């Protein structure tokens, strides 16, 4: 299959501005993929309802994510850029896939177990069936590649299970098996700055955002957790320091990283210098996106036009899939 025939799809929830984790785990790959593949990128607003946003916040956040997609380089002429709730076909497929999704496998999903722990007062059915809705997003366009960060691996595995199971129950080949995708040989996990093994995340409250000013970035990086310093030449960096190196590897030139790694290995490193350099390099990376975002977010007409065009293209593809699905199930002849 040629790359142009390969369908790429991914989505991001409108739960706050995007951070470095979203950028390196997802958005940067979207931009690279759009030249050679048929791409669908969307804003997963249904998925964000599990935490009950106010209407004002939801509306505002959807527009901000749309502007961030554009600011980061998604070209609506090359990719289909749309809002999930503009494509009702997704909901019909969600209902149909719900019939072949087993409660046991949904209850065993790590993200569901995390949510039970984090929000015990709001364990709604939408949380349990979150992977079914995500599989519908993916399968509605019969996607092959899904660029996501490491944390979405298990959800992707379920989408593959549902594609296989649907094809087998209805003795058809409607759905290809979608694969999680990253450039390089592994899915990315950008760490937070709080010195733990956790990821940088919107809900984790440890994000460096694509909309942060140079000053915001500097403050956040200078506050990053470190350790008391290396004591032996050549020792392996502790987790908080490794996290800083991991981010540096993404945003800084390779010789900057090797400079500080060498200083660490020789026990001459000063964390203040490392952080200053890191903050500067993050800012250099983010500044052009932040500036474009500032212009685009004020252009309401552009945002509405992009959403309307995307909606039309996404619905055309979605309804073609649904037509086949309805046929193999037996609704139509
Ligand atoms: P968040 O997890 O910050 O709430 P989303 O759930 O909307 O954001 O994630 C959108 C995309 O960004 C997904 O593909 C997800 O895998 C990716 N992503 C989120 N956080 C990270 C991270 N720290 N490292 C790598 N990828 C990430
Ligand atoms: N679940 C994803 C996240 O939390 C967002 C998402 C929803 C998604 N539907 C998708 C990602 C389909 C890829 C494909 O990050």
Q: Which of 20, 43, 40 is nearest to 30 (CA)?
A: 40
Which of the ligands is closest to the CA of residue 28?
Answer: 1
User: Is the per-residue pLDDT at 1 higher than 90?
Assistant: no
Pocket test for ligand 1, best of 22, 42, 74, 187 (most atoms within 8 A of CB): 22
Bridge partners, 181 (sequence order):
147
* Cβ neighbours of residue 41 closer than 8 Å, sequence gap 6 or more: 9, 10, 11, 30, 69, 74, 79, 80, 81, 82
CA torsion 25→31→32→36, rounded to 10°? 130
Domain borders along the chain are 7-180+300-329, 214-294
Q: Is 51 in the pocket of ligand 1 (CB under 6 A)?
A: no
Ligand 1 atom nearest the C-alpha of 201 is 3
Pocket test for ligand 2, best of 7, 9, 12 (most atoms within 8 A of CB): 12
Sheet containing 7-12, strands listed edge to edge, beginning at the edge strand earlier in sequence: 80-83, 38-43, 7-12, 145-147, 179-181
Collapsing DSSP to helix, strand or coil, 272 comes out as: helix
Ligand 1 atom nearest the C-alpha of 148 is 14
User: Is the per-residue pLDDT at 203 higher than 80?
Assistant: no
Q: Is 146 in the pocket of ligand 2 (CB under 6 A)?
A: yes
Ligand 1 centre distance from Cα of residue 304 (Å): 25
Pocket test for ligand 2, best of 83, 148, 160, 188 (most atoms within 8 A of CB): 148
In CATH, 7-180+300-329 is 1.10.3230.20: no
Ligand 2 centre distance from Cα of residue 130 (Å): 9
Tens-digit pLDDT profile for residues 291-320: 999 999 999 999 999 999 999 999 999 999
| Predicted pLDDT at 197 | 83
In this prediction, residues 240-250 reach a mean pLDDT of 96
Q: Is 134 in the pocket of ligand 2 (CB under 6 A)?
A: yes
pTM value > 0.85: yes
The confidence band for 204, taking pLDDT boundaries of 50, 70 and 90, is confident
Q: Is 152 in the pocket of ligand 2 (CB under 6 A)?
A: yes
Residues catalogued as catalytic: 115, 199, 202
Which of the ligands is closest to the CA of residue 26?
Answer: 1
Q: Is 290 in the pocket of ligand 2 (CB under 6 A)?
A: no
The confidence band for 187, taking pLDDT boundaries of 50, 70 and 90, is confident
Ligand 2 centre distance from Cα of residue 181 (Å): 13
| Predicted pLDDT at 184 | 85
Tens-digit pLDDT profile for residues 55-87: 999 999 999 999 999 999 999 999 999 999 999
Ligand 2 centre distance from Cα of residue 9 (Å): 9
Which of the ligands is closest to the CA of residue 137?
Answer: 2
* Cβ neighbours of residue 320 closer than 8 Å, sequence gap 6 or more: none
Q: Counting every residue, how long is the chain?
A: 333
In CATH, 214-294 is 2.60.120.560: no
């Amino acid at each position: 299959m040629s790359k142009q025939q390969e369908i790429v799809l991914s989505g991001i929830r409108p739960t706050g501005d995007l951070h470095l984790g979203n950028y390196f785990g997802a958005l940067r790959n979207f931009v690279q993929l759009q030249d050679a593949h048929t791409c669908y990128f969307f804003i997963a607003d249904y998925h964000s309802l599990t935490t009950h946003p106010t209407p004002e916040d939801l509306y505002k956040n959807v527009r901000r994510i749309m502007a961030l997609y554009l600011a980061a380089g998604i070209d609506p002429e090359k990719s289909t850029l749309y809002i999930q709730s503009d494509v009702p076909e997704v909901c019909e497929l969600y209902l149909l896939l719900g019939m072949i999704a087993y409660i046991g496998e949904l209850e065993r999903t790590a993200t569901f177990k995390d949510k039970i722990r984090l929000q015990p007062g709001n364990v709604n059915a939408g949380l349990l069936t979150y992977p079914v809705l995500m599989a519908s997003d993916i399968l509605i366009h019969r996607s092959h590649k899904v660029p996501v960060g490491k944390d979405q691996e298990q959800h992707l595995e379920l989408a593959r299970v549902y594609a296989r199971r649907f094809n087998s129950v209805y003795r058809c080949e409607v759905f290809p098996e979608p694969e999680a995708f990253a450039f390089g040989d592994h899915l990315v996990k950008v760490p937070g700055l709080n010195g733990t093994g956790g990821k940088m995340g919107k809900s984790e409250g440890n994000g460096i955002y694509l909309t942060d000013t140079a000053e915001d970035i500097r403050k956040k990086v200078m506050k990053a957790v470190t350790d008391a310093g290396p004591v032996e030449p050549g020792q392996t960096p502790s987790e908080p320091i490794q996290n800083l190196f991991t981010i540096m590897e993404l945003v800084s030139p390779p010789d900057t990283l090797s400079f500080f790694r060498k200083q660490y290995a020789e026990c001459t490193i000063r964390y203040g210098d490392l952080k200053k350099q890191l903050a500067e390099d993050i800012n250099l990376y983010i500044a052009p996106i932040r500036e474009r975002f500032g212009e685009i977010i004020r252009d309401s007409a552009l945002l509405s036009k992009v959403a309307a065009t995307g909606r039309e293209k996404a619905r055309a593809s979605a309804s073609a899939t649904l037509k086949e699905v309805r046929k193999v199930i037996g609704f139509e002849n």
